[in-house]
Amino acid sequence: MGKNFVTVLASVLLSGLTAFGIVKAATPDQSGGQAVYDGQGGVVRTVNLSLSDYPDFTYAAENAVEAVVFVKVTIQYQKQYQMADPFFRFFFGDEGQPERQGSGSGVIIRPDGYIVTNNHVVQNASKIEVTLNNNKTYEASVIGTDPATDVALLKIEAEGLPTLNFADSDKLRLGEWVLAIGSPMGEELRSTITAGIVSAKGRSMPNYKGEFKIESFIQTDAAVNPGNSGGALVNKAGELVGINTAIVSTTGSYTGYSFAVPSNIVSKIVTDLIDFGSVKRARLGVTMSPVTEKIAKDAGLSSLYGVYINEVSRGGSADKAGVKTGDVLVKVDSVDIKTPSDLQVAVNRFHPGDRTTLTVMRDGREHVLPVEFQGTAEATGTVSEDGSVAFYGARIGQTGKGVEIISAGSGKVAAAGGEDGFVIRFVNDQKVSKPQDVIDIAKKARRTIVIEGVTATGRQGYFAFGKDE
């Protein structure tokens, strides 16, 4: 029993000495550094800690906040009547178009008034007002939108505005500090700044509507709430690395996760909208899926990175390049492709007509294939080899009859009733004489595009479609 007591006492003393070493490790040495001990009184190393070792966001916050704006939108909608009887409306009147208000945020990217925000912030807006951090308010117009990336570009008539420069979002690292700046919950909390880290990259979210989306979100734990949409995600240098777009929540408010469109995607979209008035999106022409263990084994891959090609569209960019069903695509140019989201982002950086290389694995061997990208049917304004111009899924051209629909295609024009051989005379009540007139007027339309002209059989006709539907 005495022996056991001695053993227990020795254990207690050893634990006490170890604890003493741990406590002592929390005391600074004479140089002001942090001494790290080995638990037996010996110094292992000294770590110098000071306030400079902690992230300082003051420069980034104070500069970036000046370029983030509050966006207020007005949306008009038709009153839905329970009684469609015209006599009811005659006696009780027509209530007209009640208004609904919404709000979000935006980021000034050029001193002459160009502002980037989310498409869902300004979609269907009849009026848009932008308030700067200095409290000045301007009416804004929509230069263009891209629902596939949820990006929109606004313009206000102003000069000498503060701006944010685009950073290379590909260089963001997991765990890197970022700031979210915007107007959560409306104007009362305008210019709110929150901090967090990059939690993940290349995130996508379920798309229940089946719409074409390009998603490779930056996920952060910086607090973002309704009203932050369209605001800035910036790095410690005060550069724009993303546009805050969405949260995942069961309550409608922030629950720890927020998502931003990377600046590299945003930069390409807004440059296209400024230069061309529409997004010039390259198209590869494949359907794809993630690589499984079986696919990796059959293809001779050493990892599960890459995308499996399920189908190749006949006559598309990939088909002409020599890509085959069953290939595993692992690179576009020199960029490694690990997931389907990576491939979407990589292709999105190119314009129709651009050339690069695709690297695929086939039968255990690597093949490098040259490719020239074609455009999507929605790439309005793209000119093809025969001189016709893309127009919302159709192709229009100059003929002896005037501006004619060469091919109605399968996009918005065809869905609205446009047919091959239709001669376009007016767009939104403005007379047109060449395809570029049609494109220019359509770009300026806020909501609806109305086409008037003559059908192939010589009858007067018209059709209309929503610009951002």
Q: 65-102, pLDDT tens digit by residue? A: 999 999 999 987 544 444 444 444 444 455 555 678 88
Which pLDDT value is given to residue 78? 47
| Residue (of 467, 69, 115) closest to 274 by Cα position | 115
Whether pLDDT at 363 is above 80: yes
Q: What H or E segment, with its residue span, contains residue 257? A: none
Specify the pairing of strand 328-332 against strand 335-336.
antiparallel
**Confidence (pLDDT) at 303:** 86
Six token digits for residue 317: 């960019």
- Active-site choice (183, 199, 229, 258): 229
Q: What percent of the chain has pLDDT over 90?
A: 44
229 part of the active site: yes
- Rounded Cα gap, residues 269 and 255, in angstroms: 30
User: Is the model more confident about 453 or about 253?
Assistant: 453
Please check whether residue 227 is in contact with residue 117, taking contact to mean a CB–CB distance below 8 angstroms: no
pLDDT tens-digit readout, 403-453: 999 888 756 788 788 998 999 999 999 999 999 899 889 878 877 899 999
Residue 111 contacts residue 160 (beta carbons within 8 Å)? yes
CA atoms within 13 Å, Cβ hemisphere of 417: 14
- What is the percent of the chain with per-residue pLDDT over 70, rounded to a whole number? 78
| 3-state percent breakdown (helix, strand, coil) of the chain, nearest 5 | 20, 35, 40
- Write the pLDDT tens digit of every residue in 209-240: 555 677 789 999 998 888 899 999 999 999 99
Q: What is the rounded distance in angstroms from the CA atom of residue 232 to the CA atom of residue 67?
A: 9
Q: Could you report the per-residue pLDDT of 373-397, keeping only the tens digit for each? A: 987 645 556 555 466 787 887 889 8
Mean pLDDT of the 32-51 span? 53
Angle between helices 263-276 and 340-348 (to 10 degrees): 30
> How far apart are alpha carbons 387 and 124 in whole angstroms?
33
pTM here? 0.66
Q: What's the CA gap between 41 and 454, in Å, rounded? A: 95
Closest by alpha carbon to 187, among 119, 101, 251, 108? 101
Amino acid at 346: A
The pLDDT of 318-322, averaged and rounded, is 94
Beta strands in 111-252 (DSSP E): 114-118, 127-131, 137-139, 141-146, 151-155, 177-182, 192-203, 217-220, 232-234, 240-247
Determine whether 367 is an active site residue: no
Asked if 97 and 77 touch (Cβ cutoff 8 Å), the reply is: yes
* pLDDT, position 89: 45
pLDDT of residue 386: 60
Rg (C-alpha) for the chain, rounded Å, is 29
Distance separating alpha carbons of residues 427 and 100, to the nearest angstrom = 29
Tell me which of 103, 146, 150, 278 is the catalytic residue.
150
Across the chain, mean pLDDT equals 81
CA–CA distance, 440 with 318 (Å, rounded to integer): 31
Cα-to-chain-centroid distance, residue 185: 22
pLDDT value at residue 139: 95
Nearest 5°: CA angle at 308, between 307 and 311? 125
| pLDDT at residue 54 in the model | 67
Span 40-54, average pLDDT: 56
Phi, psi dihedral angles at 256 (to 5 degrees) = 115, -10
110 dihedral zone (left: phi>0; alpha: psi -120 to 50; beta)? beta
